[in-house]
Protein backbone atom coordinates (compact mmCIF):
# COMPACT_ATOMS: atom_id res chain seq x y z
CA UNK A 1 0.00 0.00 0.00
CA UNK A 2 1.12 3.51 -0.73
CA UNK A 3 1.79 5.70 2.24
CA UNK A 4 -0.18 8.45 0.52
CA UNK A 5 -3.41 6.91 1.67
CA UNK A 6 -5.59 9.83 0.75
CA UNK A 7 -4.43 9.66 -2.85
CA UNK A 8 -4.70 5.92 -3.32
CA UNK A 9 -7.64 5.06 -1.12
CA UNK A 10 -9.75 2.20 -2.33
CA UNK A 11 -13.28 1.18 -1.48
CA UNK A 12 -14.67 -2.35 -1.43
CA UNK A 13 -18.42 -2.93 -1.48
CA UNK A 14 -19.82 -6.33 -0.46
CA UNK A 15 -23.27 -7.19 -1.82
CA UNK A 16 -24.43 -6.08 -5.28
CA UNK A 17 -28.01 -4.84 -4.86
CA UNK A 18 -29.82 -1.51 -5.04
CA UNK A 19 -27.79 0.08 -2.22
CA UNK A 20 -24.52 -0.94 -3.87
CA UNK A 21 -25.46 0.57 -7.24
CA UNK A 22 -26.51 3.78 -5.52
CA UNK A 23 -23.27 3.86 -3.52
CA UNK A 24 -21.12 3.56 -6.65
CA UNK A 25 -23.06 6.36 -8.31
CA UNK A 26 -22.98 8.59 -5.22
CA UNK A 27 -19.31 7.97 -4.43
CA UNK A 28 -18.43 9.16 -7.93
CA UNK A 29 -20.88 12.07 -7.72
CA UNK A 30 -19.26 13.10 -4.41
CA UNK A 31 -15.87 13.16 -6.06
CA UNK A 32 -14.29 9.91 -4.87
CA UNK A 33 -11.81 8.96 -7.59
CA UNK A 34 -10.06 5.90 -6.18
CA UNK A 35 -10.70 2.30 -7.19
CA UNK A 36 -14.03 0.71 -6.26
CA UNK A 37 -14.53 -3.06 -6.16
CA UNK A 38 -18.06 -4.44 -5.98
CA UNK A 39 -18.45 -8.06 -4.87
CA UNK A 40 -21.75 -9.85 -5.47
CA UNK A 41 -22.72 -13.49 -5.01
CA UNK A 42 -25.35 -13.55 -7.77
CA UNK A 43 -24.54 -13.90 -11.46
CA UNK A 44 -25.89 -10.43 -12.20
CA UNK A 45 -24.83 -6.84 -11.63
CA UNK A 46 -27.18 -4.81 -9.39
CA UNK A 47 -30.82 -5.01 -10.46
CA UNK A 48 -34.22 -3.79 -9.33
CA UNK A 49 -36.00 -6.31 -7.16
CA UNK A 50 -39.45 -4.66 -6.94
CA UNK A 51 -40.52 -5.65 -10.50
CA UNK A 52 -39.65 -9.32 -9.84
CA UNK A 53 -42.95 -10.08 -8.09
CA UNK A 54 -44.90 -7.80 -10.44
CA UNK A 55 -44.29 -7.01 -14.12
CA UNK A 56 -41.27 -9.31 -14.51
CA UNK A 57 -43.22 -12.33 -13.28
CA UNK A 58 -46.15 -11.30 -15.47
CA UNK A 59 -43.77 -11.19 -18.45
CA UNK A 60 -44.38 -7.57 -19.41
CA UNK A 61 -40.98 -6.31 -18.22
CA UNK A 62 -38.04 -8.02 -19.88
CA UNK A 63 -34.86 -8.93 -18.05
CA UNK A 64 -32.44 -6.29 -19.45
CA UNK A 65 -34.69 -3.58 -18.04
CA UNK A 66 -34.21 -4.91 -14.51
CA UNK A 67 -30.58 -3.88 -14.38
CA UNK A 68 -30.04 -0.63 -12.54
CA UNK A 69 -27.16 0.41 -14.78
CA UNK A 70 -26.08 -0.25 -18.34
CA UNK A 71 -23.49 -3.03 -18.77
CA UNK A 72 -20.90 -0.41 -19.69
CA UNK A 73 -21.63 1.70 -16.61
CA UNK A 74 -19.32 -0.03 -14.15
CA UNK A 75 -16.29 0.10 -16.42
CA UNK A 76 -17.03 3.75 -17.21
CA UNK A 77 -17.40 4.48 -13.50
CA UNK A 78 -14.11 2.71 -12.70
CA UNK A 79 -15.82 0.03 -10.65
CA UNK A 80 -14.49 -3.52 -10.74
CA UNK A 81 -17.37 -6.03 -10.64
CA UNK A 82 -16.69 -9.41 -9.02
CA UNK A 83 -19.85 -11.42 -9.62
CA UNK A 84 -20.62 -15.03 -8.60
CA UNK A 85 -18.30 -14.29 -5.72
CA UNK A 86 -19.05 -14.46 -2.04
CA UNK A 87 -17.12 -12.86 0.76
CA UNK A 88 -16.38 -15.23 3.62
CA UNK A 89 -14.64 -13.03 6.20
CA UNK A 90 -13.65 -9.50 7.05
CA UNK A 91 -10.16 -9.16 8.53
CA UNK A 92 -10.55 -5.85 10.27
CA UNK A 93 -7.02 -5.58 11.69
CA UNK A 94 -5.38 -5.90 8.27
CA UNK A 95 -8.36 -4.26 6.51
CA UNK A 96 -9.10 -6.94 4.00
CA UNK A 97 -12.03 -9.02 2.84
CA UNK A 98 -11.57 -12.72 2.26
CA UNK A 99 -13.37 -14.26 -0.69
CA UNK A 100 -14.62 -17.84 -1.08
CA UNK A 101 -11.62 -18.74 -3.27
CA UNK A 102 -9.22 -17.60 -0.55
CA UNK A 103 -8.24 -14.33 -2.21
CA UNK A 104 -7.99 -11.29 0.05
CA UNK A 105 -9.10 -7.86 -1.12
CA UNK A 106 -7.45 -5.06 0.82
CA UNK A 107 -9.62 -2.02 1.54
CA UNK A 108 -9.22 1.43 2.97
CA UNK A 109 -12.96 1.76 3.39
CA UNK A 110 -15.53 -1.01 3.32
CA UNK A 111 -19.25 -0.79 2.62
CA UNK A 112 -21.53 -3.72 3.49
CA UNK A 113 -24.67 -3.81 1.37
CA UNK A 114 -25.41 -7.48 1.89
CA UNK A 115 -29.19 -7.11 1.94
CA UNK A 116 -31.51 -9.77 3.26
CA UNK A 117 -32.39 -13.36 2.49
CA UNK A 118 -35.78 -15.02 2.52
CA UNK A 119 -37.04 -16.61 5.68
CA UNK A 120 -37.58 -20.32 5.02
CA UNK A 121 -40.27 -22.61 6.31
CA UNK A 122 -39.11 -25.49 8.45
CA UNK A 123 -42.28 -27.61 8.57
CA UNK A 124 -42.38 -31.25 7.32
CA UNK A 125 -41.99 -31.43 3.54
CA UNK A 126 -40.62 -27.88 3.29
CA UNK A 127 -37.69 -29.05 1.14
CA UNK A 128 -39.81 -30.75 -1.53
CA UNK A 129 -39.26 -29.69 -5.16
CA UNK A 130 -41.98 -27.31 -6.34
CA UNK A 131 -41.73 -25.06 -3.29
CA UNK A 132 -40.55 -21.65 -4.41
CA UNK A 133 -39.28 -18.50 -2.76
CA UNK A 134 -38.98 -15.10 -4.42
CA UNK A 135 -35.98 -12.85 -3.96
CA UNK A 136 -33.75 -13.13 -7.03
CA UNK A 137 -33.98 -13.24 -10.82
CA UNK A 138 -33.12 -16.96 -10.62
CA UNK A 139 -36.02 -17.51 -8.19
CA UNK A 140 -38.52 -15.89 -10.56
CA UNK A 141 -37.15 -17.68 -13.61
CA UNK A 142 -37.70 -20.96 -11.75
CA UNK A 143 -41.23 -19.97 -10.76
CA UNK A 144 -42.09 -18.65 -14.23
CA UNK A 145 -41.32 -22.02 -15.82
CA UNK A 146 -44.28 -23.56 -13.97
CA UNK A 147 -46.45 -20.46 -13.59
CA UNK A 148 -49.10 -21.47 -16.14
CA UNK A 149 -52.85 -20.96 -16.53
CA UNK A 150 -54.90 -23.58 -14.72
CA UNK A 151 -52.12 -24.51 -12.28
CA UNK A 152 -53.03 -24.50 -8.61
CA UNK A 153 -50.67 -22.28 -6.65
CA UNK A 154 -50.64 -22.22 -2.86
CA UNK A 155 -49.13 -19.01 -1.55
CA UNK A 156 -47.85 -19.03 2.01
CA UNK A 157 -47.92 -15.53 3.48
CA UNK A 158 -50.35 -12.69 2.78
CA UNK A 159 -47.75 -9.91 2.73
CA UNK A 160 -46.50 -7.80 -0.18
CA UNK A 161 -44.71 -10.64 -2.00
CA UNK A 162 -47.47 -13.19 -1.57
CA UNK A 163 -50.21 -10.79 -2.64
CA UNK A 164 -48.32 -9.39 -5.62
CA UNK A 165 -47.77 -12.94 -6.85
CA UNK A 166 -51.44 -13.72 -6.13
CA UNK A 167 -52.50 -10.74 -8.28
CA UNK A 168 -50.22 -11.79 -11.15
CA UNK A 169 -51.41 -15.39 -10.79
CA UNK A 170 -55.08 -14.40 -10.92
CA UNK A 171 -54.38 -12.29 -14.00
CA UNK A 172 -52.59 -15.20 -15.67
CA UNK A 173 -55.44 -17.62 -14.95
CA UNK A 174 -53.89 -19.67 -12.16
CA UNK A 175 -56.00 -21.08 -9.37
CA UNK A 176 -54.67 -19.09 -6.38
CA UNK A 177 -55.02 -19.78 -2.66
CA UNK A 178 -53.26 -17.59 -0.07
CA UNK A 179 -52.59 -18.86 3.46
CA UNK A 180 -52.00 -16.21 6.10
CA UNK A 181 -51.43 -16.99 9.76
CA UNK A 182 -52.62 -13.56 10.96
CA UNK A 183 -56.25 -12.43 10.89
CA UNK A 184 -55.74 -9.94 8.06
CA UNK A 185 -53.59 -9.28 4.97
CA UNK A 186 -50.33 -7.27 5.10
CA UNK A 187 -50.83 -7.03 8.86
CA UNK A 188 -47.25 -5.91 9.50
CA UNK A 189 -47.36 -3.19 6.86
CA UNK A 190 -50.79 -1.55 6.66
CA UNK A 191 -53.75 -0.50 8.82
CA UNK A 192 -56.89 -2.68 9.11
CA UNK A 193 -58.95 -0.61 6.64
CA UNK A 194 -56.36 -1.09 3.90
CA UNK A 195 -56.19 -4.82 4.70
CA UNK A 196 -59.96 -5.12 4.37
CA UNK A 197 -59.96 -3.24 1.06
CA UNK A 198 -57.27 -5.51 -0.41
CA UNK A 199 -59.00 -8.62 0.92
CA UNK A 200 -62.15 -7.65 -1.03
CA UNK A 201 -60.13 -6.88 -4.17
CA UNK A 202 -58.37 -10.26 -4.10
CA UNK A 203 -61.62 -12.10 -3.50
CA UNK A 204 -63.20 -10.21 -6.41
CA UNK A 205 -60.34 -11.44 -8.61
CA UNK A 206 -61.06 -15.02 -7.59
CA UNK A 207 -58.18 -15.46 -5.16
CA UNK A 208 -59.08 -17.73 -2.25
CA UNK A 209 -57.88 -16.36 1.06
CA UNK A 210 -57.37 -18.52 4.14
CA UNK A 211 -56.72 -16.16 7.05
CA UNK A 212 -55.73 -17.32 10.55
CA UNK A 213 -54.40 -20.38 8.78
CA UNK A 214 -50.83 -21.43 9.35
CA UNK A 215 -49.23 -24.03 7.10
CA UNK A 216 -48.38 -27.25 8.94
CA UNK A 217 -46.87 -29.49 6.29
CA UNK A 218 -46.30 -30.20 2.61
CA UNK A 219 -46.36 -33.56 0.92
CA UNK A 220 -46.22 -35.31 -2.42
CA UNK A 221 -44.52 -37.97 -4.45
CA UNK A 222 -41.16 -36.55 -5.49
CA UNK A 223 -42.58 -33.03 -5.61
CA UNK A 224 -45.06 -30.95 -3.70
CA UNK A 225 -48.66 -32.04 -4.37
CA UNK A 226 -50.51 -30.88 -1.30
CA UNK A 227 -50.42 -28.40 1.54
CA UNK A 228 -51.76 -29.09 5.00
CA UNK A 229 -53.02 -25.93 6.67
CA UNK A 230 -55.47 -25.31 9.49
CA UNK A 231 -56.05 -29.05 9.73
CA UNK A 232 -57.18 -29.36 6.10
CA UNK A 233 -55.38 -30.66 3.05
CA UNK A 234 -55.28 -28.57 -0.14
CA UNK A 235 -54.01 -29.92 -3.48
CA UNK A 236 -51.32 -27.73 -5.09
CA UNK A 237 -49.10 -27.84 -8.18
CA UNK A 238 -46.90 -24.97 -7.05
CA UNK A 239 -46.10 -23.44 -3.67
CA UNK A 240 -44.74 -19.93 -3.23
CA UNK A 241 -43.54 -18.93 0.22
CA UNK A 242 -43.35 -15.23 1.12
CA UNK A 243 -42.97 -14.97 4.87
CA UNK A 244 -40.44 -12.21 5.20
CA UNK A 245 -36.68 -11.81 5.16
CA UNK A 246 -33.71 -12.06 7.49
CA UNK A 247 -30.88 -9.51 7.28
CA UNK A 248 -27.57 -10.86 5.96
CA UNK A 249 -25.44 -9.76 8.89
CA UNK A 250 -23.35 -12.91 9.44
CA UNK A 251 -20.20 -11.50 7.85
CA UNK A 252 -20.40 -8.44 10.08
CA UNK A 253 -21.23 -10.49 13.17
CA UNK A 254 -18.32 -12.86 12.61
CA UNK A 255 -16.05 -9.84 12.30
CA UNK A 256 -17.19 -8.61 15.71
CA UNK A 257 -19.25 -5.68 14.45
CA UNK A 258 -22.35 -4.84 16.49
CA UNK A 259 -25.41 -6.67 15.15
CA UNK A 260 -28.94 -6.87 16.52
CA UNK A 261 -31.09 -8.50 13.86
CA UNK A 262 -29.19 -6.34 11.36
CA UNK A 263 -25.85 -4.58 11.25
CA UNK A 264 -26.02 -1.68 13.69
CA UNK A 265 -25.08 1.62 12.06
CA UNK A 266 -25.21 5.23 13.17
CA UNK A 267 -26.96 8.11 11.41
CA UNK A 268 -24.07 8.36 8.97
CA UNK A 269 -24.45 4.67 8.04
CA UNK A 270 -21.23 3.80 9.86
CA UNK A 271 -20.68 0.67 11.92
CA UNK A 272 -18.62 0.61 15.11
CA UNK A 273 -15.49 0.28 12.95
CA UNK A 274 -14.12 3.60 11.66
CA UNK A 275 -13.44 2.03 8.27
CA UNK A 276 -16.70 0.15 7.73
CA UNK A 277 -20.11 1.46 6.68
CA UNK A 278 -23.30 -0.40 5.86
CA UNK A 279 -26.53 0.45 4.02
CA UNK A 280 -29.85 -1.05 2.99
CA UNK A 281 -31.92 -4.02 4.16
CA UNK A 282 -29.03 -5.50 6.17
CA UNK A 283 -28.82 -2.58 8.62
CA UNK A 284 -30.47 -1.48 11.81
CA UNK A 285 -30.37 2.22 12.56
CA UNK A 286 -32.04 4.75 14.83
CA UNK A 287 -34.85 6.19 12.73
CA UNK A 288 -36.10 9.77 12.64
CA UNK A 289 -38.48 9.01 15.52
CA UNK A 290 -35.69 7.83 17.80
CA UNK A 291 -36.31 4.08 17.66
CA UNK A 292 -33.90 1.45 16.34
CA UNK A 293 -35.49 0.15 13.16
CA UNK A 294 -34.71 -2.13 10.27
CA UNK A 295 -36.24 -1.09 6.97
CA UNK A 296 -36.72 -3.39 3.99
CA UNK A 297 -37.29 -1.04 1.10
CA UNK A 298 -35.84 0.68 -1.93
CA UNK A 299 -36.00 4.05 -0.18
CA UNK A 300 -33.70 2.94 2.62
CA UNK A 301 -31.31 1.28 0.17
CA UNK A 302 -31.07 4.48 -1.87
CA UNK A 303 -31.00 7.06 0.91
CA UNK A 304 -28.77 5.19 3.33
CA UNK A 305 -26.32 4.43 0.51
CA UNK A 306 -26.26 8.13 -0.39
CA UNK A 307 -25.49 8.94 3.25
CA UNK A 308 -22.80 6.27 3.39
CA UNK A 309 -21.19 7.79 0.29
CA UNK A 310 -21.33 11.25 1.86
CA UNK A 311 -19.71 10.00 5.06
CA UNK A 312 -17.10 7.95 3.19
CA UNK A 313 -16.06 11.06 1.28
CA UNK A 314 -15.75 13.13 4.44
CA UNK A 315 -19.09 14.97 4.22
CA UNK A 316 -21.27 13.22 6.81
CA UNK A 317 -24.92 14.27 6.94
CA UNK A 318 -27.56 12.91 9.34
CA UNK A 319 -29.85 10.34 7.73
CA UNK A 320 -33.43 11.25 8.62
CA UNK A 321 -35.39 10.72 5.40
CA UNK A 322 -39.03 9.66 5.60
CA UNK A 323 -39.30 5.96 4.66
CA UNK A 324 -41.60 5.11 1.76
CA UNK A 325 -42.89 1.91 0.22
CA UNK A 326 -45.14 0.82 -2.61
CA UNK A 327 -46.95 -2.24 -3.86
CA UNK A 328 -48.66 -2.93 -7.18
CA UNK A 329 -51.57 -5.38 -7.10
CA UNK A 330 -53.97 -5.47 -10.07
CA UNK A 331 -54.47 -1.86 -11.18
CA UNK A 332 -54.02 -0.64 -7.61
CA UNK A 333 -51.00 1.39 -6.64
CA UNK A 334 -50.48 1.35 -2.89
CA UNK A 335 -48.04 4.03 -1.71
CA UNK A 336 -47.02 4.37 1.91
CA UNK A 337 -44.85 6.97 3.63
CA UNK A 338 -43.81 7.07 7.27
CA UNK A 339 -44.16 4.40 9.93
CA UNK A 340 -47.59 3.91 11.50
CA UNK A 341 -47.95 2.92 15.14
CA UNK A 342 -50.80 1.52 17.21
CA UNK A 343 -52.64 4.42 18.82
CA UNK A 344 -52.32 6.78 15.84
CA UNK A 345 -55.49 8.71 14.97
CA UNK A 346 -56.68 7.54 11.55
CA UNK A 347 -58.22 9.99 9.09
CA UNK A 348 -59.68 8.66 5.86
CA UNK A 349 -59.88 10.76 2.72
CA UNK A 350 -61.91 9.53 -0.24
CA UNK A 351 -64.06 6.45 -0.69
CA UNK A 352 -62.61 2.94 -0.94
CA UNK A 353 -65.55 2.03 -3.20
CA UNK A 354 -64.11 4.47 -5.75
CA UNK A 355 -60.79 2.52 -5.51
CA UNK A 356 -59.02 5.81 -4.81
CA UNK A 357 -58.54 6.84 -1.20
CA UNK A 358 -56.00 7.47 1.54
CA UNK A 359 -55.61 6.86 5.25
CA UNK A 360 -53.61 9.43 7.18
CA UNK A 361 -52.05 8.53 10.53
CA UNK A 362 -51.88 11.45 12.93
CA UNK A 363 -49.80 11.41 16.09
CA UNK A 364 -49.72 14.37 18.51
CA UNK A 365 -51.61 16.38 15.89
CA UNK A 366 -48.91 15.82 13.29
CA UNK A 367 -48.73 13.62 10.21
CA UNK A 368 -46.96 10.36 11.10
CA UNK A 369 -47.78 8.15 8.10
CA UNK A 370 -49.93 7.99 5.00
CA UNK A 371 -51.31 5.02 3.10
CA UNK A 372 -52.62 5.93 -0.35
CA UNK A 373 -54.42 3.72 -2.86
CA UNK A 374 -54.39 5.15 -6.40
CA UNK A 375 -54.01 8.53 -4.69
CA UNK A 376 -50.62 10.01 -5.55
CA UNK A 377 -51.41 13.58 -4.40
CA UNK A 378 -52.42 12.32 -0.95
CA UNK A 379 -49.22 10.28 -0.81
CA UNK A 380 -46.92 13.10 -1.91
CA UNK A 381 -48.46 15.76 0.33
CA UNK A 382 -48.68 13.30 3.21
CA UNK A 383 -44.97 12.52 2.86
CA UNK A 384 -44.11 16.22 2.78
CA UNK A 385 -46.18 16.85 5.93
CA UNK A 386 -44.41 14.00 7.72
CA UNK A 387 -41.03 15.50 6.87
CA UNK A 388 -42.09 18.99 7.99
CA UNK A 389 -43.59 17.81 11.28
CA UNK A 390 -46.00 20.72 11.54
CA UNK A 391 -49.49 20.42 13.12
CA UNK A 392 -52.16 19.33 10.63
CA UNK A 393 -55.94 19.79 10.49
CA UNK A 394 -57.72 16.42 10.51
CA UNK A 395 -61.06 17.85 9.32
CA UNK A 396 -59.47 19.46 6.27
CA UNK A 397 -57.53 16.31 5.43
CA UNK A 398 -60.79 14.34 5.37
CA UNK A 399 -62.59 16.89 3.18
CA UNK A 400 -62.23 15.93 -0.49
CA UNK A 401 -63.74 19.24 -1.59
CA UNK A 402 -60.45 20.84 -0.52
CA UNK A 403 -57.75 20.07 -3.13
CA UNK A 404 -54.93 18.01 -1.61
CA UNK A 405 -52.30 20.33 -3.04
CA UNK A 406 -53.54 23.25 -0.92
CA UNK A 407 -53.04 21.19 2.26
CA UNK A 408 -49.28 20.86 1.87
Partner 1 sequence: MAQKYRVTYIEADGKPHTIEVAEGWSLMEGAVKHLVPGIDADCGGACACATCQVYVAPDWADKLPPKSDMEETMLDFAPDVKPTSRLSCQIRMTAELDGIVLHLPKSQH
Interacting residues toward partner 1 by CB under 8 A: 28-29, 48, 50-51, 64-65, 67-70, 72-73, 76-77, 298-299, 302, 326, 328, 333, 335, 376-377, 379-381, 405
**Between 16 and 380, CB nearer to partner 1:** 380
Q: Min. distance of Cβ 230 from partner 1 in angstroms? A: 35
Burial of 55 (0-12, 13-18, 19+ CB in 10 A): middle
**Between 107 and 360, CB nearer to partner 1:** 360
3-state secondary structure of 309: helix
Burial of 317 (0-12, 13-18, 19+ CB in 10 A): exposed
**Between 48 and 96, CB nearer to partner 1:** 48
Do 367 and 391 form a contact (C-beta atoms < 8 A)?
A: no
Please give the Cα distance from 368 to 340 (Å, whole number): 6
Do 128 and 223 form a contact (C-beta atoms < 8 A)?
A: yes
**Between 178 and 407, CB nearer to partner 1:** 407
The HSE-up count of residue 226 (CA atoms within 13 Å, CB side) is 10
Q: Min. distance of Cβ 4 from partner 1 in angstroms? A: 27
Q: Min. distance of Cβ 24 from partner 1 in angstroms? A: 10
Q: Min. distance of Cβ 88 from partner 1 in angstroms? A: 31
Instruction: Give the C-alpha distances (Å, rounded to integers) separating 132 from 138, 162, 183, 328.
Output: 11, 11, 24, 21
> What is the C-alpha R_g of the chain?
22
**Between 68 and 346, CB nearer to partner 1:** 68
Q: Min. distance of Cβ 299 from partner 1 in angstroms? A: 7
**Between 18 and 268, CB nearer to partner 1:** 18
Q: Min. distance of Cβ 277 from partner 1 in angstroms? A: 21
Amino acid sequence: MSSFASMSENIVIIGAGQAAAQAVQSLRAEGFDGPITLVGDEAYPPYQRPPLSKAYLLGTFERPRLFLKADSYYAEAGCDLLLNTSATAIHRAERSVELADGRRLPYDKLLLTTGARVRRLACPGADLPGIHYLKTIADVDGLQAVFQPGKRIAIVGGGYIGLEVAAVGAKRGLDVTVFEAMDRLMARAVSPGISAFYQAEHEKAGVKLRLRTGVEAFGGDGKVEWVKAGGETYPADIVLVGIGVIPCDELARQAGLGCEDGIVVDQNARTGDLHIWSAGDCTRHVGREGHAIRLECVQNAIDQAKHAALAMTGKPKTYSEVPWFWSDQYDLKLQIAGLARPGDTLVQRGDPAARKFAVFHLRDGKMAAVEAVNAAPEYLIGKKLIAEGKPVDAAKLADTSIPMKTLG
